[in-house]
Amino acid sequence: MRRNEKPDWLFAVSLFLLLSLGLLCVYSASGSQRGLFTHQLFFVLAGIIVFFGALVFPLRFLEESAPLIYGVSLILLVLTIFFGGGPAGRWLQLGPLNIQASEIAKLCVIVLSARWLPALKRESVPGGVSLYLSTVGVLTALTLLQPDLGTAVVIVMIVFGMIYWAGFGFNWIFLFLSPLSAAISSIKFVSWITFTAFLCWVLYRSGARPRRWVFFLVMTSVIAAATPSAWGLLRPYQQARLTTFLNPEEDPYGAGWNVIQSKVAIGSGGATGQGFLNGSQNELAFLPARHTDFVFSVWAEEWGFVGSLFLLSLYVVLAWRILVGARRSLNPFNSTIGAGTAVFIIIHVVVNVGMTLGMMPVTGLPLPLITYGGSHIITEMLLLGFSGNVIRNWRSY
C-alpha cells in the first residue's frame, strides 16, 4: 500500500482548532458547573485516541465489517426504544457509559452506503436498490422511534448527499428520495397524485422491472397514507419545536423562549463580541441549553460576527480538505466514506447554526466538535479519522 507522503496540514490544523475552541466554548457555557468542562475534556481526549486509531485502521476491513456494524446499530436502537432513559429517552446506559444509539446509526449509514452505493453504480444488482432502501429505512424508522426526529431527517439527508457523490443520475436520486417525497406530498391529495404520476414516469424512463414498480408504488402509498397520522405520534415537545419554529413569539415564555434568547445572544455579540466569559445572556443564564443545543449562541455572543465567521470557516476548510481527499482517492469505498463524512459535517453545522438563528426547527443536533457530549464527539472523531485515512492512502485501490 502506497501512502501520500505529505500530511494534509489544513485538515489537521482546522480539526485541532475546532476541538480547542469547543473546549473553550463548553468552559464558558458550563458556568458554575465546571464538571461539565472536565467531562468534555475527557471526551475530547478519548476522541483523539479514537481518531488516531481510525487513522491507521485498514479501510478494507471496515468495508467488510459493514454488516456487523449494521447489526450492532440495530441492536442498540432496539434496546434504546425499550430501555432508554435520560433526556427524551434517547440514551442507553451500559454500565458507567451512556450511549446515544442514534449517533452510531449515522456512522452505520455512512459505512453501509459507502459499501453499497459504488456496487449499485458499477453493476446492476438484482433487487439491490430495493434492498438498500429497505435497509436504510429500517435504521431511519428505529431512530425515529427513539424518539429522534432530527437524526432521522439527517440520515435521509446524508444518504441523499452520498448517492449524489456516487454518481447516480436524476432518476435514481428521485427513486432514493421517493419515501421522503411521498411523505411531503401527502399533505394534499392533488400533490400526492402528481408525485405518483411523476414516480411512474421515472420508473418507466429507468426501465424498471415489474417487481420494482410494485415495490415503489406500494411503499410510497403506505408512507403517504401513514404520514397524516404521524403528527399524533410525535411527543409534545417535538410538536412544540415545530410550531415554535413557525412562530416563536406565539409562546415567548414557553416553547419559544429558547429561540428568542438565542437570537438575543447572537445579536448582542455585535461585530467583535462581548469577550470571553462576558456574554450577559450566557453568564446570567438567560440562554438555556448553553452547552448543548445553543452552544453556537454562546460563541457568537462572546466573539461576535468576526469570531462566528472564523469558526464557520474552519468547518468549510475541514469539509473541503475531506472532499479533496475523497475526490483523489482511487478506491470507491474510501472515496464515498470520505464524502459521507463531509456531508455529515456540513449538515450538522447548517442545521445547528440555523436553529440558533430561528431559521430551522430546534432538533437537538450537535455542533460538530463543539457541543458538549461524548457519543457525538466519539462518532465524529471516528469518522474524521477514517477520512484522514482516506487522505493519507488516496493511492490505495
Digit-coded pLDDT (tens) for 154-207 = 898 898 889 889 887 777 778 877 887 887 777 777 888 888 898 898 888 877
State the average pLDDT over residues 295-303.
90
| Per-residue pLDDT at 378 | 93
* Residue entry with cell 429522534: 148
Rounded CA-CA distance 203/339 in Å is 27
| Per-residue pLDDT at 140 | 87
How many structural domains is the chain composed of? 1
Residue 2 lies in a domain: no
| Per-residue pLDDT at 309 | 95
Residue 3 lies in a domain: no
| All three cell numbers of 150 | 432530527
pLDDT band at residue 4 under the 50/70/90 scheme: very low
| Per-residue pLDDT at 1 | 39
Q: Between 277 and 318, name the one with better pLDDT.
A: 318
Residue 4 lies in a domain: no
pLDDT greater than 80 at residue 266: yes
Which amino acid does the sequence have at 16? F
pLDDT digits (tens, 9 = 90+) for 95-107: 667 788 888 999 9
State the average pLDDT over residues 280-302.
74
pLDDT greater than 70 at residue 126: no
pLDDT greater than 90 at residue 335: yes
pLDDT digits (tens, 9 = 90+) for 338-347: 999 999 999 9
| Per-residue pLDDT at 64 | 92
Residue 144 lies in a domain: yes
Tell me the C-alpha to C-alpha distance, in Å, between residue 106 and each of 234, 334, 348, 389. 21, 17, 11, 19
Rounded CA-CA distance 391/397 in Å is 13
Cβ atoms < 10 Å from Cβ of 328: 15
Q: Which residues pair with 98 in a beta bridge?
A: 93
**Residue 257 contacts residue 358 (beta carbons within 8 Å):** no
Rounded CA-CA distance 318/331 in Å is 21
pLDDT digits (tens, 9 = 90+) for 212-253: 788 888 888 888 887 766 655 556 655 555 555 555 555 554
Q: Between 59 and 172, name the one with better pLDDT.
A: 59
**Residue 201 contacts residue 193 (beta carbons within 8 Å):** no
pLDDT greater than 60 at residue 366: yes
**Residue 102 contacts residue 167 (beta carbons within 8 Å):** no
Rounded CA-CA distance 230/217 in Å is 20
The pLDDT mean for the chain works out to 82
pLDDT band at residue 132 under the 50/70/90 scheme: confident
Give Cα 50 to chain centroid, integer Å. Answer: 19
Q: What string of DSSP letters covers 190-245? A: HHHHHHHHHHHHHHHHTT--HHHHHHHHHHHHHHHHHHHHHHHHS-HHHHHHHHHH
Please tell me the least confidently modeled range out of 9-23, 127-141, 227-241, 339-353. 227-241
Please tell me the least confidently modeled range out of 128-142, 277-291, 374-388. 277-291
Nearest to 298 by CA among 276, 313, 316: 276
Can you list the alpha helix ranges (DSSP code H) found in the chain? Answer: 9-29, 35-56, 59-64, 66-83, 101-122, 128-144, 149-165, 170-176, 178-185, 189-205, 210-233, 236-246, 257-268, 280-283, 295-328, 332-356, 375-392
Residue 225 lies in a domain: yes
**Residue 372 contacts residue 313 (beta carbons within 8 Å):** no
Share of the chain above pLDDT 70, in %: 83
Residue 358 lies in a domain: yes
Q: Between 3 and 336, name the one with better pLDDT.
A: 336
**Residue 381 contacts residue 48 (beta carbons within 8 Å):** yes
Residue 397 lies in a domain: no
Q: Between 56 and 189, name the one with better pLDDT.
A: 56
Cβ atoms < 10 Å from Cβ of 212: 16
Domain, as residue range, for 375: 9-392
